[in-house]
Amino acid sequence: MVACPLTVFLSLAGSNVNIIMKRPLQKLTILGSTGSIGVSTLDVVVRHPEQFQVFALTANQRVEVLAQQCRQFHPRYAVLGSEAAAEQLRPLVGRGVEVLWGETGLALVAAHAEVDTVMAAIVGAAGLLPTLAAAKAGKKILLANKEALVMAGQLFMDVVAESKATLLPIDSEHNAIFQCLPADYRGREEAGVRRLLLSASGGPFRTTPLAELASMTPDQACAHPNWSMGRKISVDSATMMNKGLELIEASWLFAVDASDIDIVVHPQSIIHSLVEYKDGSVLAQLGNPDMRTPIAHALAWPERIDSGVSSLDLIAIASLDFEAQDEQRFPALALARAAAESRGDAPAALNAANEVAVEAFLNEAIGFTRIAEVVDGVMQTWQTDEPRDLLAVQDADQRARAMAKQVIDQYV
């Protein structure tokens, strides 16, 4: 890391002593910079030019948006999903930015020796390889791409441990739990934790009459009451598969069994998750539903920086409600819990089947309630195996995708 000229004066309470600290400048790669998390990350970064320098930005196809970001942040590298998209970007950004494309480009900017911190904010299985590349290179990883951990949990955590990478959760629930755990957390028993409570908003269809669910459109599914997010995670929130994926994510991040994690529906999305200790104490993290809070927390950790998020007005919110999860309305929850308990390659299969089903729903090829049915169809016949390496994970992913397409073919 390079020392930056920023000098911070800390006045110790009750004393006249000033401590002078130098904050290191963090060089950042943002994987998926044109998405919802990517844009929020840049919004935090722009507030702290002395602390963060954008080293690389990546997008799949949105050339214009990436070009605009390059003009504003002057990264060393920009990476696109295809050669054709890279060709389009080159004349828009000039010579100062090196334009790469594809998996090799992503791996290069994720693992580059000059990079300190990698925001992993590509959506879906496409995020696995670059996030793993960052982990192998021992980077500080800000993990938004939960699918990487769902697919390759053991493998990913092993790589993080071997390379001494720093893994910080961006998902608001996991970031909340991280904040409620002791700084030297090593495991549930040792820390005296009884259980983790993942909070869930219940999404846009929490109170929709069950008979109407089948006819819900992609736009209705993407209209989340509290959060503004990309379309895939928005649909996952509507089916609550998102909470199922988060259950698996939490079990890996915090080394707990799925049975040690409960889900509580909390429609206001003010309490982002909770940790219950053996003595009955329950710690929670609260805040406005704005991803800039967990992003700023992880960017600056263990310090705190301004995120641009307004103060929480508890008087205006007035009340916080809690409900039990409804497995009849949200069958994806039980499917994800079963995959979490099976471990092995079951979560990778669940994730792959879900990605295929969500895409089919977004393309209006299947109805909303079919999403969980497709995943169920795949998981019913899935033979869980222990994936020994990345190839085995990718193989499970591909097989589950093919099976999901077969199930979908029966519906269309």
Q: Closest CB to Mg ion among 51 and 172?
A: 172
393 scored as a contact of ligand NAD (CB under 6 A) = no
- DSSP 3-state of 332: helix
Nearer to ligand NAD, 25 or 125 (CB): 125
Listing DSSP states for 174-233 in one string gives HHHHHHHS-TT---HHHHTEEEEEEEE---TTSSS-GGGGGG--HHHHT--SS----HHH
Distance CA 360, CA 408 (A): 8
Q: What is the DSSP letter of 15?
A: S
- When CB distances are held under 5 to 8 angstroms depending on the partner's kind, the choice from Mg ion, ligand NAD, none that residue 116 binds is none
Amino acid at 290: D
Residue 227 interface partner, choices Mg ion, ligand NAD, none, CB cut-off 5-8 Å depending on type? ligand NAD
CB 37 to Mg ion: min, Å: 11
CA distance 332 to 291: 24
Q: Which is nearer to ligand NAD, 100 or 291 (CB)?
A: 291
| From 23, 26, 28, 36, residue interacting with ligand NAD (rule: CB under 6 A) | 36
Nearer to Mg ion by Cβ, of 147 and 171: the residue is 171
Q: How far is the CB of 130 from ligand NAD (least distance, A)?
A: 8
# binding residues, ligand NAD (CB under 6 A): 26
CB of 278 to ligand NAD, least distance (A): 29
Taking CA atoms, 128 is separated from 111, 148, 390, 394, in Å, by 13, 5, 10, 10
CA 385 to chain centre: 25
Closer by beta carbon to ligand NAD, 170 or else 346: 170
Task: Burial-class residue 69 by CB neighbours within 10 Å (0-12, 13-18, 19+).
Answer: buried
Residue nearest to ligand NAD (CB): 35
Which is nearest to 152 in space by CA: 376, 384, 383, 397? 397
Q: Are 321 and 267 in contact (CB under 8 A)?
A: yes
Contact between 116 and Mg ion (CB under 5 A)?
no
| DSSP type of residue 95 | T
Amino acid making up residue 82: S
Q: Which is nearer to ligand NAD, 122 or 378 (CB)?
A: 122
C-alpha 119 chain-centroid distance: 10
Tell which positions 178-207 bind ligand NAD, by CB under 6 A: none
Site for ligand NAD in 264-303 (CB under 6 A): 291
Is the preceding peptide bond at 218 cis, omega within 30 degrees of 0?
no
- From the list 4-12, 194-202, 229-237, 256-264, the region that binds ligand NAD by CB under 6 A is 229-237
Of positions 147, 171, 359, 397, contacts Mg ion by CB under 5 A:
171
Q: Which residue has the tokens 């409570």?
A: 197
The amino acid at 311 = S
Q: How far is the CB of 93 from ligand NAD (least distance, A)?
A: 16
- Please pick, from the candidates 53, 73, 100, 147, the single residue that binds ligand NAD as defined by CB under 6 A: 147
Interaction between residue 34 and ligand NAD (CB under 6 A): yes
Cα diameter, the chain:
75
Which C-beta is closer to ligand NAD: that of 23 or that of 232? 232
Q: Does 146 bind ligand NAD (CB under 6 A)?
A: yes
Q: Is 59 in the site for ligand NAD (CB under 6 A)?
A: yes
User: How far apart are alpha carbons 351 and 384 in whole angstroms?
Assistant: 14
Stretch that binds ligand NAD, among 14-22, 48-56, 140-148, 299-307 (CB under 6 A): 140-148
Q: Where are the alpha helices (DSSP H) in 10-119?
A: 36-45, 63-73, 83-93, 102-111
Name the segment binding ligand NAD (CB under 6 A); options: 28-36, 44-52, 180-188, 297-305: 28-36
Q: CB of 289: closest distance to ligand NAD in angstroms? A: 9
Nearer to ligand NAD, 37 or 247 (CB): 37
Q: Which residue is nearest to Mg ion (CB)?
A: 171
128/256 with CB nearer ligand NAD = 128
Pairwise CA distance, residues 150 & 125, whole Å: 9
Give the count of beta carbons closer than 10 Å to the beta carbon of residue 276: 18
> Does 290 interact with Mg ion (rule: CB under 5 A)?
no
Residues making contact with Mg ion (CB under 5 A): 171-173
Residues making contact with ligand NAD (CB under 6 A): 32-38, 59-60, 62, 81, 121-123, 126, 144-147, 171, 227, 229-230, 232-233, 291
